[in-house]
């Protein structure tokens, strides 16, 4: 099991909004980062510090973090957004990753 809890899979219709959750007690006390991983590729940082996009990441990616749940939000989901998504935080200089969520675009 993982200390950060993510759903195994999320499906969303093309053009709709996908939401992927990441749960941990008092996760709002941490900065949560999100990574996208396509098959056979290295992870890509898509959200840092809860709700910020690195340069080059489309505006449709956003995030939130409150209470015990952080959420990655993908608006107007595209086929190219399919892949695995991981939440991550640093706890006393040790990185923790969620178990990953497979996003499917229907």
**Residues binding another protein (CB under 8 A):** 2, 31, 33, 35, 37, 42-45, 48-49, 52, 54, 86, 88, 90, 93-100
Minimum distance of another protein from residue 19's CB (angstroms): 19
Question: Coil, helix or strand for 29?
Answer: helix
Cα 60 from Cα 3, distance rounded (Å): 28
Q: In 1-106, where do the E strands start and end?
A: 9-12, 18-23, 33-37, 44-47, 61-66, 69-74, 83-91, 94-97, 101-105
Minimum distance of another protein from residue 16's CB (angstroms): 26
Residue number, 15 or 90, with CB nearest to another protein: 90
Residue number, 42 or 106, with CB nearest to another protein: 42
């Amino acid at each position: 099991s993982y200390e950060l809890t993510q759903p195994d899979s999320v499906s969303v219709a093309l053009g709709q909004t996908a939401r992927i959750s990441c749960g941990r007690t008092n996760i709002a006390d941490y900065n949560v980062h999100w990574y996208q991983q396509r098959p056979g590729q290295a992870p890509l940082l898509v959200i840092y510090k809860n709700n910020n996009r690195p340069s080059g990441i489309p505006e449709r990616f956003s995030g939130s973090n409150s209470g015990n749940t952080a959420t990655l939000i993908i608006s107007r989901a595209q086929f190219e957004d399919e892949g695995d998504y991981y939440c991550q935080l640093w706890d006393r200089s040790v990185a923790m990753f969620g178990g990953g969520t497979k996003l499917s675009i229907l």
